[in-house]
Chains A and B, each alone.
Chain A
Amino acid sequence: MTGTGAIFCLEASGLGCVRDDRSLFEDLSFRLSSGQVLLLEGRNGSGKTSLLRLLCGMRQPDAGEIRWDGEDIFGLGPDYHTHIAYVGHKDGVKHDLTAFENLKLARGLAAPNLDTSIEDALRQVELWGFDDVAARNLSAGQQRRLALARLLVTRANLWILDEPFTSLDSRGIAIVETLFSNHVAHGGMLAVTSHHQVQLGDAETIRIDLSS
Chain B
Amino acid sequence: MNTPSLSRAFALLLWRDLLLAYRRRTEMINPLLFFVLVTTLFPLGIGADPALLRQVAPGIIWVAALLAAMLSLDSVFRSDFEDGSLEQFLISAQPLSILVLAKVVAHWLITGLPLLIVAPLLGLLLDLPAASISTLLVTLALGTPVLSMIGAIGVALTVGLHRGGVILSLLVLPLYIPVLIFAANAVESAGAGLPIVAHLSLLTALLVLSTSLSPLATAAALKISLS
Contacts and interface: CB of A to CB of B under 8 A. Distances in A.
A78 B85 contact: no
B83 A109 contact: no
Interface residues of A, number: 32
Interface string B79-92: 00011110111111
A97 B84 contact: no
Contact of A101 (B3, B19, B83, B99): B19
Contact of A88 (B8, B9, B84, B94): B84
Given A109-B94, A109-B99, A92 B16 contact: no
Interface in B1-23: 1-4, 8-9, 12-13, 16, 19-20, 23
A109 B1 contact: no
- Assign chain B's interface to a size class: 20 to 34
B94 A58 contact: no
A82 B95 CA distance: 11
A96 B3 CA distance: 28
A82 B92 CA distance: 7
B118 interface: no
A91 B82 CA distance: 10
Interface string B144-187: 00000000000000000000000000000000000000000000
A49 B182 CA distance: 49
Contacts of B91: 56-58, 81, 84, 86
A43 interface: no
Given A78-B93, A109-B93, A90 B87 contact: yes
A46 interface: no
B51 interface: no
Contacts of B1: 112, 114
B20 to A, nearest CB: 5
A105 B15 CA distance: 10
Contacts of A81: 91-93
A207 B12 CA distance: 39
Interface of A: 53, 56-60, 77-78, 81-82, 84, 86, 88-97, 101, 104-106, 108-112, 114
5 contacts: A57-B91, A90-B82, A109-B4, A109-B13, A110-B93
**Closest CB pairs A-B (n = 9):** A90-B84, A92-B84, A108-B12, A109-B92, A59-B227, A82-B93, A92-B88, A96-B23, A81-B91
